[in-house]
């Protein structure tokens, strides 16, 4: 009979991409507290070091940090080659690295921004996933949690490539489920709506005022809300797979389809 104790599954080794971002930090704190070994790739070693320190003195040797540029295949491959033996049995991968750049209509967008989003949100994610699956398939266990977005479900003006990149993440997650039947490897796409983070600061390239206006006079979700959802999915008994989990602030909802009218 299946183990029906919820929150009974404890991953031992967790790889989290984008660990120094607001979501990443929240995930790190939860899984470190659970006693997991964390594998933390990133471009800024000082930030990774600070994150590692914030996880607590006694936890220092439990985590592995290393340079990795998620937009670069070679860098990801080198990072994987350098994972110390003690950390190699990855139980849980959280594909969290991702970003939005710009909110201009497609016809005015910067092509470099589009490429960067595709490189990080999609190319990096599939490369990290493929390399991790090499380990998980041998162990016949594991869980891949992708951080998608409501933007992958509902397009909005100016969302163009960001929306498309998150639709890719959703469909890739579901297609992985199809391929991984019989392997005992779980796949989950967590799809948050509005969450107050540095997301809008990055999207608007440092324009603080514009970023703050996104979250003004409302109650968005918090990184902790998203972390709770991730932890819930990750700690379910292993017979239980959450395919997709869409979450939004109560204050956020759907708009009508737009209609162009003749004058
Ligand atoms: C972030 C949600 O609506 O700002 O992924 O695109 S949204």
At residue 82, the pLDDT reads 97
Q: Say if 234 falls within a structural domain.
A: yes
At residue 59, the pLDDT reads 56
Threshold 0.85, pTM exceeds: yes
At residue 57, the pLDDT reads 63
Decide if pLDDT at 130 tops 80: yes
More confident residue, 254 or 263: 254
Decide if pLDDT at 166 tops 60: yes
Give CA–CA dist 66/42, Å, rounded.
6
For a mutational test of ligand 1's pocket, the pick from 100, 117, 167, 198, i.e. the residue with the most ligand atoms closer than 8 A to its C-beta, is: 100
The alpha carbon of 244 and the centre of ligand 1 are apart by a number of angstroms equal to 16
Q: Say if 231 falls within a structural domain.
A: yes
Among 13-22, 53-62, 140-149, the minimum mean pLDDT is found in 53-62
At residue 5, the pLDDT reads 85
Q: Say if 86 falls within a structural domain.
A: yes
At residue 61, the pLDDT reads 79
Q: In what order do the strands lie in the sheet with 37-42?
A: 63-67, 37-42, 13-16, 92-95, 142-147, 185-192, 244-247
Q: Say if 225 falls within a structural domain.
A: yes
Average pLDDT (125-131) is 98
At residue 56, the pLDDT reads 84
Q: In whole angstroms, how far apart are CA 111 and each of 56, 114, 115, 123?
A: 42, 5, 6, 16
At residue 1, the pLDDT reads 54
Q: Say if 8 falls within a structural domain.
A: no
- Containing structural domain, residue 94: 13-247
Q: Say if 2 falls within a structural domain.
A: no
CATH code for the domain in which residue 230 is found: 3.40.50.720
Decide if pLDDT at 3 tops 80: no
Give CA–CA dist 23/198, Å, rounded.
10
Pocket, ligand 1, Cβ cutoff 6 A: 149-151, 193-194
Decide if pLDDT at 162 tops 70: yes
Q: Say if 37 falls within a structural domain.
A: yes
Assign 4 a pLDDT band (cuts: 50, 70, 90): low
The alpha carbon of 225 and the centre of ligand 1 are apart by a number of angstroms equal to 15
Task: Specify the residue with its C-alpha closest to ligand 1, atom 2.
Answer: 193
> Nearest to residue 79, comparing CAs of 126, 169, 15?
15
The alpha carbon of 193 and the centre of ligand 1 are apart by a number of angstroms equal to 5
Query: By three-state DSSP, how is residue 63 classified?
Result: strand
Q: Say if 5 falls within a structural domain.
A: no
Tell me the backbone φ, ψ of residue 146, rounded to 5 degrees: -100, 140
Mean per-residue pLDDT of the chain = 96
Count of structural domains, the chain = 1
Decide if pLDDT at 22 tops 70: yes
């Amino acid at each position: 009979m299946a183990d029906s104790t919820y929150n009974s599954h404890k991953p031992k080794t967790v790889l989290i991409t984008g660990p120094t971002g607001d979501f990443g930090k929240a995930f790190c704190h939860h899984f470190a507290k659970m006693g997991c070994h964390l594998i933390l790739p990133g471009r800024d070693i000082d930030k990774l070091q600070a994150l590692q320190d914030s996880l607590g003195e006694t936890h220092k040797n439990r985590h592995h940090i290393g340079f990795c540029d998620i937009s670069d295949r070679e860098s990801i491959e080198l990072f994987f080659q350098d994972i110390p033996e003690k950390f190699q049995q990855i139980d849980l991968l959280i594909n969290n690295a991702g970003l939005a750049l710009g909110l201009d209509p497609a016809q005015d967008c910067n092509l470099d921004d589009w490429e960067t989003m595709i490189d990080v949100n999609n190319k990096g994610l599939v490369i990290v996933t493929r390399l991790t699956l090499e380990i998980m398939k041998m162990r016949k266990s594991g869980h891949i949690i992708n951080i998608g977005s409501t933007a992958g479900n509902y397009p909005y003006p100016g969302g163009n490539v960001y929306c498309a990149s998150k639709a890719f993440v959703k469909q890739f997650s579901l297609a992985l489920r199809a391929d991984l039947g019989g392997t005992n490897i779980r796949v989950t796409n967590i799809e948050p709506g509005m969450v107050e983070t540095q997301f809008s600061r990055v999207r608007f390239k440092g324009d603080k005022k514009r970023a703050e206006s996104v979250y003004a006079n409302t109650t968005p979700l918090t990184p902790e809300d998203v972390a709770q959802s991730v932890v819930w999915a990750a700690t379910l008994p292993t017979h239980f797979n959450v395919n997709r989990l869409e979450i939004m602030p109560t204050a956020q909802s759907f708009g009508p389809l737009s209609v162009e009218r003749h004058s």
